[in-house]
A and B are shown apart, each in its own frame.
Chain A
Amino acid sequence: MRRLATNSKKNFYAVGFDLLLLAILAGCIVMALCSGKYPITPKESLEVLFGEVFGKGGVYSEMTKNVVMGLRIPRITASILCGVMLAMSGVAYQSIFKNPLISPDFLGVSNGACIGAAIAILMGLGGIYLSGFAFLGGILAVSITVLIPTILKSESNIMLVLSGVIVGGAMSSILGFIKYVADPETELAAITYWTMGSFSYVTMAEIKSVILTMVIPMLILFGMSWWLDILSMGESEAKSLGVNIKLIRNVAIACATLMTASSVCISGTIGWIGLVIPHFARMCVGPNNTKLIPTAGLMGGIFLLLVDTITRTISMAEMPVSILTGLIGAPFYAVLLYRQRKTIS
């Protein structure tokens, strides 16, 4: 009876915490709409939103409308979605491999996506084509990673991790070669800029092109969060409960990979979110995946939205997102590790 009461209290706390995060996210969206080098007041941005969505509201200038609807809305949407995807896939990977040091790109998805994007840049392609190449590159890299243990007839997680290291290394070399042959003033700079992540050129068309590969795996991951809890107990415990470990693991990896590849292909590689946010969320709501996944997702969305808003506001030229996520993420991760040192040791 007491345990039931405690569980219900914990659930209530988790729901309350997530509602608080939702409120913070809503506040951040309004703040992001009003922040930027083009001056727009909160009133103006709300007028544009109401005017454009419901066809009523105040009078606003054409440029204000273009900035809000053409630049900020796509950026805000993309940064929230990418933050959510990276954080959730980070939780999934860390649960599947029972390793808190694993980030969503350890199976080579980011390296593969970088190669795809770099090839597109060399071919002079941009926009949706660049995203498509990056997505295919990411999926191809993960497919090779998954194929290696299959060829070696091993189902071990360690084999998969090592396979990820092999593919990641090979992809880095290929990327190095592409960078070597690229024009240092234009293509190399574009490839480097892309690999550091940015939402500068994101369009609604690009978001629409990946929305299904983001939302469907995310919903599946939501649905199977309870199974992930069982999986994180250990293979023998899960087997004793009659769980099909291989199936759950493969579905979870496929979902997390699709989510990561979809976000990488519209934003470039953004580090630290899939690593740090799951830890922070775990500290707040505990290791239970049914609570952890939505909380981490919301935190990821808020974090990346804030980072993107800062990068496009503070400096003269826009800063790549990964610079700031690294600057914030690294010390933040160190503090988290310090606070969790007893648990880890």
Chain B
Amino acid sequence: MRNLKRAAALLLVLVICFSFGACGKQGTVQPDKPKADTIVITDMMGREVEVPADTKNTTVASTYGVVTPFLSTLQIPDRVLAANFKNKQFFRLCEDPIINTGNIGTTVNLDSEALAATNPDVYICKISDQEKIDIATRLGIPAVTLSAEIPEEVLKAYEMLGKLLGCEERAQAIIDYLKGELADIDDLAAKIPEEDKVTAICMGSLLSRVAGEDMLQTMMIERVGGKSVVKGIVGEEERYWADCGVEKVFELDPDYIFVTSSAVLDYSMDDFYTDSSWSGMIAVKNRDVYQIPAKLDSWDMPGPGFILGMYYMMHCMYPDVCTAEMLQTEVNDYYNFFYGKTFTGEEIGYEF
């Protein structure tokens, strides 16, 4: 019996020692790819990352769904080896070859072996994904982080990706387009007299959850001339939905209620009108509750689509300033510029 214990203990100790020992020394290693020159880029966490200098041939893989529209609109389908999709149907409609790329996991879970098998030159993940960065580093793949939670970050993300993937021209064209649209929106918003400005809020996935004052949706409301009613309301974390409770929403009582399309809702849009407890709210009385389009490509998700979300909000709140025709033109221009295609209202999920 004693021998048995010794044998079992010995095996465990051997396994442990072998594993630890195995991490310490080096053998004869042959690089997978010829050692290339590198450049250093600063990612959106402020990390300095060494990436291949031959940026025009840099291949990329990502598990972060937000990154996919960026890669798609930069038009480098041959170099995207793996991507994660929030909505594949949209890219299918766009006939974008990115739809045929591989999969190395989800925003939550990176499949490390699949990443190794894909072996991209660069792996892109979310700024808070420290564990994924560690995995990529262990595999010798540079990990670059990206964040696009506010308009300024979207512009920065394009700039960084342009440099990283050697498509600076296209990235700059996109940045110029977005900056131009933002300037146009600012000009339109400046035309709205202060006394005509209306209050608005954006609801999250629950009826008790609203976009905090530092969130994209609130910034969109304010930029298009709306008055946000969530001053001082913030989520548990920076740029995060705030669970303020239904009673607080009643107390805020804005003129307009927008509902996000970036999350799965725990309620239906009809609930605002069928549930009598909501009937006292100004927005409900005036039937001014709107879900931000669209069923294919969310206009309030982190990414370039926020421009359309802004025009949509402005059209809802100030239809004289941003008319239906103007909105339709902007939508067509946007999809044409980014994806080389326009969509019908039915495809988008919004009738102009």
Q: Does A61 contact B (CB under 8 A)?
A: yes
A60-B30, A71-B112, A189-B108 known; A222 vs B9 contact (CB < 8 Å): yes
Which single member of B11, B18, B113, B263 contacts A71 (CB below 8 Å)? B113
Within 8 A of B (CB), among A7-23: 11, 14-15, 18-19, 22
A18-B4, A290-B1, A291-B4 known; A67 vs B139 contact (CB < 8 Å): yes
Identify the closest chain B residue to A180 (Cβ): B243
Q: Does A80 contact B (CB under 8 A)?
A: yes
CB–CB A51/B28 < 8 A:
yes
Q: Which of B128-136, B147-155, B338-346 sits within the interface?
A: B128-136
Main secondary structure of the interface of B (DSSP, over half): mixed
Which single member of A22, A67, A198 contacts B11 (CB below 8 Å)? A22
Which single member of A22, A55, A70, A73 contacts B26 (CB below 8 Å)? A55
Q: Does A193 contact B (CB under 8 A)?
A: yes
CB–CB A318/B5 < 8 A:
no
CA distance A50 to B240 in the complex (A): 49
The residue in B13, B116, B130 that gathers the most chain A C-beta atoms within 10 A of its C-beta is B116
Identify the closest chain B residue to A57 (Cβ): B27
CB of B311 to closest CB in A, whole Å: 25
CA distance A50 to B18 in the complex (A): 11
Q: Which of A120-128, A251-259, A331-339 sits within the interface?
A: A120-128
Which single member of B25, B119, B131 contacts A53 (CB below 8 Å)? B25
Within 8 A of B (CB), among A191-224: 193, 198, 200-201, 203-204, 207-208, 211, 215, 218-219, 222
CB–CB B103/A316 < 8 A:
yes
CA distance A120 to B194 in the complex (A): 45
Instruction: Provide the A70-108 mask, 1 if CB < 8 A to any CB of B, else 0.
Output: 110110110011001000000000000000000000000
Contacts of B205 in A (CB 8 A): 184
Main secondary structure of the interface of A (DSSP, over half): helix
Task: Give me the 4 closest cross-chain CB pairs, A-B, nearest first.
Answer: A51-B27, A70-B138, A37-B113, A38-B116
Q: Does A58 contact B (CB under 8 A)?
A: yes
CA distance A11 to B21 in the complex (A): 34
CB–CB B8/A201 < 8 A:
no
Contacts of B138 in A (CB 8 A): 66, 70-71, 203
Instruction: Provide the B18-39 mask, 1 if CB < 8 A to any CB of A, else 0.
Output: 1111110111111110000000
Q: Does B105 contact A (CB under 8 A)?
A: yes
CA distance A66 to B141 in the complex (A): 10
CA distance A298 to B253 in the complex (A): 63
CA distance A122 to B237 in the complex (A): 8
Residues of A in contact with B, size category: 35 or more
CB–CB A70/B139 < 8 A:
yes
CB–CB B27/A80 < 8 A:
no
CB–CB B5/A49 < 8 A:
no
Identify the closest chain B residue to A315 (Cβ): B111
CB–CB B18/A65 < 8 A:
no
Contacts of A58 in B (CB 8 A): 28
Q: Does A168 contact B (CB under 8 A)?
A: no
Q: Does B15 contact A (CB under 8 A)?
A: yes
Contacts of A203 in B (CB 8 A): 134, 138
CB of B86 to closest CB in A, whole Å: 10
CB of B325 to closest CB in A, whole Å: 35
CB–CB A25/B11 < 8 A:
yes
CA distance A76 to B22 in the complex (A): 13
Count A-B pairs with CB separation below 8 Å: 180
CA distance A207 to B22 in the complex (A): 14
A-B contact pairs, 6 of them (CB 8 A): A18-B7, A50-B27, A80-B15, A127-B130, A203-B134, A219-B9
Contacts of B105 in A (CB 8 A): 317-318
Identify the closest chain B residue to A39 (Cβ): B117
CB–CB A62/B30 < 8 A:
yes
CB–CB A59/B28 < 8 A:
yes
CB of B230 to closest CB in A, whole Å: 17
CB–CB A22/B8 < 8 A:
yes
Q: Does B140 contact A (CB under 8 A)?
A: yes
CA distance A207 to B340 in the complex (A): 51
Which single member of B13, B30, B106, B109 contacts A61 (CB below 8 Å)? B30
Contacts of B117 in A (CB 8 A): 37-39
A interface with B by C-beta (< 8 Å): 11, 14-15, 18-19, 22, 25, 29, 36-39, 47-63, 65-67, 69-71, 73-74, 76-77, 80-81, 84, 122, 124, 126-127, 180-181, 183-186, 189-190, 193, 198, 200-201, 203-204, 207-208, 211, 215, 218-219, 222, 290-291, 294, 297-298, 312, 316-318
Identify the closest chain B residue to A74 (Cβ): B19
Within 8 A of A (CB), among B219-255: 236-237, 240-241, 243
CB–CB B131/A126 < 8 A:
yes
CB–CB B1/A11 < 8 A:
yes
CB–CB B19/A183 < 8 A:
no
A38-B113, A201-B131 known; A63 vs B8 contact (CB < 8 Å): no
Which single member of B9, B22, B243 contacts A49 (CB below 8 Å)? B22
A38-B116, A52-B27, A204-B19 known; A22 vs B108 contact (CB < 8 Å): no
Contacts of B25 in A (CB 8 A): 52-55
Q: Does B16 contact A (CB under 8 A)?
A: yes
CB–CB A37/B243 < 8 A:
no
CA distance A219 to B243 in the complex (A): 49
CB–CB B16/A57 < 8 A:
no
Which single member of B11, B113, B130, B131 contacts A36 (CB below 8 Å)? B113
Within 8 A of A (CB), among B72-130: 103, 105-114, 116-117, 119, 126, 128, 130
Contacts of B119 in A (CB 8 A): 63
